[in-house]
Structure 1
Amino acid sequence: MPLGQVDIGVAFLGGSATKIVYRTTDGVTGGGTETSATVFVPKGSAPAGGWPIVSVGHGTTGVTDECAPSLYPNLLGTIGLVTPFLERGTVVVVTDYQGLGTPGDPAYLNIDAAAYDVIDAVRAARTVVPDVGTRWGAIGTSQGGQAVWAAAERNAEYGDGLELVGVAALSPAADLTRYFAADTEQTLSRQLLVPFLYEGLHVTDPSVERSDYIRGTFADNVTALTACSDLLGFSKADAGAVIDPADAVPADDRAANRMTDWLRSVALPTSRTDVPLFVLVGERDDLIDPQWTRDAVAKACGLGDDVELRSEPEQGHADLAANGIGVDWLVERFLNVPNSTTCAR
């Protein structure tokens, strides 16, 4: 990807960008597959020991091929997690995730697929940029927060040859098991995510029926709701204004249980990790209930993880202000500043 086609902020910093396609492990079948990513390199020469590298997990952009972030100069909003690291002399790689812009169906929220994508993106970047060292970190927002957290958990078994210094998960979709619980308010934000949840479930179990989760006006607008809405000239907010909330919930207990079982299967944590973990929640998040994330962190602490949980009272879901907090935390890990933990020991 020529420099003239990348975000103006990257160009201003004198960085370069290259789109790559790389081999990784299919999170559903366990076989080999391909995914794409964008590699950003700061200006100048690599320091002794090689460039440090950060792997970024992007938030939900869609489930159709045209929503792969690598197709857009601003990575569909993810560029805000790239430029701060370029300013600090760090190579950045942003995976598109399996099935998004490459053959196959997107394995939405599949923790194995996400972890493999994030880790193998670093390996691929090192082949494209030979001066990249082995020390790396990861940061992600929402879906990407879940992806990088999963990478931390899979690091011991899958990250051989690399040194993961820390992971920052911002508003992570760590555990959505209570998404359709009776006491969960079905906000517009939550309703708009239902088509994506269905797509994730459907990849795992092709026998599920869309009508069990999406009906009526919601089904009429599902193309707009699951694609890059600006390409269609139809925003998700517009679609949300015409949907009936009753059309965006499981049709019956069987459908609800099926979805809940799948959400439980993609929930974190699943195992202990030695990787320092930073988790940020916005207390005004109306998509991922902050308590869901606090409970996930408590489970991680119980497994023996070192987690620093930070609560931002005035932030909502994936607020831009969270980016700087996560970036600063991860930079300290590269500088070997001892990490803190909010886990009771």
Structure 2
Amino acid sequence: MKRRNFIIKTAQASAAITFSTINYAFSTKEKELFFEISLAEWSLHRSLFANKINHLDFANIAKKSGCNGVEYVNRFFFDKAKNISYLNEMNRRANTEGVENVLIMIDREGSIADKNTKKRNQTIENHYKWIDAAHRLGCHAIRVNLRGNGTKLEVAKSGIESLTKLSEYAQGSNINILVENHGGLSSNGEWMKEVFSQIKSPNCGILPDFGNFCISHNTFNKCIEEYDRYKGIQELLPFAKAVSAKSSVFNKNGDESKIDYYRIMKMVKDSGYRGFIGIEYEGSQHDEIKGIELTRNLLIKAGKQA
């Protein structure tokens, strides 16, 4: 499996940025880092669901938060995948802000590893429009969920078939099909490694997330089976074509309380990955903008020490 290395651009600005609770100067230029920082739209999901902000304002918020790339979530423009004028407006907003459209995270389009062939084929069909939308937006990838029913072998077989079909469709558009560790078997690093070792499509890979290593929850949504985070990251990185920096709780030193960013960022650097790392703040300890700020500062600090 080949890992694509993406060109790192130098930062366009180092002046002070003021946005809501953010009022600080970025003294660190992106050229000092081995990666570039993007913002995952899910970081703003509470504000988006509450209609406090509009999806079309995402690029502006990302730029003001000090990010050079944007990672969209399809749920926030779910009925617009084929709306050319709307996609053109998204492009215009991103171009105006000088941010790069990186990828689209796809949810609620079915299970690509469903044992039922008819349902699985419909799910594949449902994803085609998002591949086309990603191409029009100039993204390099879409993120899909590798979920299904059956045994590990059955889910793997169905998943490989679906990912191969999606990759074949996307190849002509230069779009990568990426799977995130996003619960269930996809949070099992050993299983994911085995699956992707069998996939031959050069435009199919993994989006390792610093969190999301819970394999199963109980009825109270408490994790009852969790995969070793650092072992999992190490197993996923050889197939990485994007990386997601999950965060939720920070200590007084500005470090993530549950995730050792310093250890993981060294792993990412040592793997040879040279692309965007997307901020995905999910916590409730701080408002969303403050959480994004803390995650960005930590990424820079940990990245410089990697």
Q: TM-score, normalised by structure 1?
A: 0.34
Q: TM-score, normalised by structure 2?
A: 0.37
Q: Of the two structures, which has the highest relative contact order with CA contacts closer than 8 Å and spacing of 6 or more?
A: 2
